[in-house]
Amino acid sequence: MAEREHEHVRVAVIGSGFGGLGAAVRLRRQGITDFVVLERAGSVGGTWRDNSYPGCACDVPSHLYSFSFAPNPEWPRNFSGQPHIRAYLERVTDTFGLRPHLRFDSEVRSLRWNAEELHWEVETASGALTADVVVSATGPLSDPKVPDVPGLDSFPGKVFHSARWDHDYDLRGKRVAMIGTGASAIQIVPAVQPTVDRLTLFQRTPAWVLPRADRRISGLERWLHAKVPATRAARRGLLWGIRELQVSAFTKRPNELGLIEGLAKGHMKRAVKDPALRAKLTPDYRIGCKRILLSNTYYPALTQPNVDVVASGLKEVRGNVLVASDGTEAEADAIVFGTGFHVTDMPIAHRVTGANGTTLAEEWKDGMEALRGTTAAGFPNFLTIIGPNTGLGNSSMILMIESQLNYLVDFMRQLDVLGGKIALNARPSAVHAWTRGIQKRMERTVWTTGGCDSWYLDANGRNTTAWPGTTAEFRRLTREVDLAEYEVLRAPASRTGARSAAFAKAVA
């Protein structure tokens, strides 16, 4: 501990999920080895470590949900499960020699910009250090959100969130209440339904669900992908291209999504014969407004005799009785919350204090915004992976992450080219111009016009989460850093004066 009190590194990366490990790989490949990866848990994996609930799997095809620089010919299924994805991240860690850079049990408690020294002061659970550059890769799906339900504290049974699954508690033979109908819930419901005594699903808003084209990838396919890499690349390219072609319907012509709605209704009708249950499960908003879910087992599970669907959200808890907003009551031994995460109010933002003495959360009180989804004004040398308006509704987030890693690499190159003790601070005008452009484009998207209230929207009703374009466009826009969008901060020649860095104009 004492040895680390005055430790200084070139880069501190926060988080060891896809974003953090990807950043570590790209830094090493750039020749930068003076960095650490700060992880609050005891192993890598991020959301794929935390979410270990029954049935957990990815809704993006595996060959697209992996790094381009670390292909995996051994994916067992089209949509692989959580254990396989987590194992993939462990292999990436070993293959690229990242273990020496990892600091486990090192949750970041505070980050504070030192304007005189032009570096970040980092306080972690395992000690303090300073860093020239900080890369925040905590991810939007890292901190579970549990609603404040009156009486929940008095519930005598078991309560946990899907991302904090209690594997020591056996649900078999229990009366279980599932709160929420998002991507986690539709995987949990069919996984636990066969063994529980009774399952009550509290559905505040029904989801659009499409068939899941999942199957086992044959041994011949895996052999071919390993021996002939071009086949693996072709498969990935096809998966990518199909999703790129879908983007315009989401972002420019939402009415074209009516055909997809028809497919979803047909999928439901084949599994759910009861008209009353179908009415409960049919959304009243345009498909795509909320994330489209994929499952072949969700609807069949809801038709089973031990399942009740309450078409209303949970209002309060009275002992072991759960009361919905419509007055429906249900007894339960366990409550599982599938209620999502702090996406538009990321907890890490409260721990980051920038050049103006304000936290990132304070600066984002009216909505998150960052230049090219990566850098925020007033927070020099601070980059966010999966930052504001970088989320996707139909493709792989790994594509967006890799684009931001390109930006990170060029950011580091620009610092080296400028030379000396230096920092780059995004100009407020550049951040605001980028944000205005994003929000203007957002007006036509299904997320704005579709008639729903989704986790894409913040408390002010503004979409600060999704990217209103293709992944190819984002890749182009983040290929390199435009120094005209930044102020260059240089360390004062003498540190006996005011505790502030001098501003200088960059010459591109």
The tens place of each residue's pLDDT in the chain, 508 residues long, gives 344 457 999 999 999 999 999 999 999 999 999 999 999 999 999 999 999 999 999 999 999 999 999 999 999 999 999 999 999 999 999 999 999 999 999 999 999 999 999 999 999 999 999 999 999 999 888 889 999 999 999 999 999 999 999 999 999 999 999 999 999 999 999 999 999 999 999 999 999 999 999 999 999 999 999 999 999 999 999 999 999 999 999 999 999 999 999 999 999 999 999 999 999 999 999 999 999 999 999 999 999 999 999 999 999 999 999 999 999 999 999 999 999 988 888 889 999 999 999 999 999 999 999 999 999 999 999 999 999 999 998 899 999 999 999 999 999 999 999 999 999 999 999 999 999 999 999 999 999 999 999 889 998 899 999 999 999 999 999 999 999 999 999 987 544 333 333 333 333 3
Give CA–CA dist 398/176, Å, rounded: 34
How many other C-beta atoms are found inside a 10 Å radius of the C-beta of residue 327? 8
Q: Which amino acid is at 32?
A: I
Q: DSSP per residue over 238-280, as a string?
A: HHHHHHHHHHHHHHT-GGGGHHHHHHHHHHHHHH---HHHHHH
pLDDT for 346 equals: 86
Which CA distances in Å does 346 have to 84, 169, 350, 367, 384?
Answer: 27, 29, 8, 11, 11
Using CB atoms within 10 A of its CB, is residue 459 exposed (0-12), middle (13-18) or buried (19+)?
A: exposed
Please name every residue paired with 214 in a beta bridge, in sequence order, or none if there are none.
Answer: none
Look-up of token digits 């907890």: 347
What's the DSSP call for residue 457? Answer: B
- What length does the chain have? 508
On whether the CB atoms of residues 15 and 24 are closer than 8 A, the answer is no
CA 272 – CA 253 distance, rounded (Å): 30
Closest residue by Cα to residue 270 from 303, 315, 319, 226: 303
Q: Are 200 and 336 in contact (CB under 8 A)?
A: no
* N- to C-terminal Cα separation, the chain: 42
Closest to 302 (Cα-Cα) out of 283, 322, 277, 327: 277
CB 36 within 8 A of CB 23: no
The number of beta carbons lying within 10 Å of the beta carbon of residue 284 is 8
Secondary structure of residue 181 in the 3-state scheme:
coil
Rounded CA separation 113/378 (Å): 10
In the structure encoding, which two tokens stand for residue 502, read together? 């001098």
Using CA atoms, how far apart are residues 300 and 411, in angstroms rounded to an integer?
50
Query: Residue 459's pLDDT is what?
Result: 87
Quote the CA–CA distance of 181 and 149 in Å, as a whole number: 17
Cβ neighbours for 147, distance < 8 A, ≥ 6 positions apart: 179, 314, 337, 339
* Cα 316 to the center of its chain, rounded Å: 29
Element at 84 (helix H, strand E): helix 82-95
The token duo for 360 is: 């990132």
SS (H, E, C) 342-406: CCCCCHHHHHEECCCCCEHHHHCCCCCCCECCCECCCCCCEEECCCCCCECCCCCHHHHHHHHHH
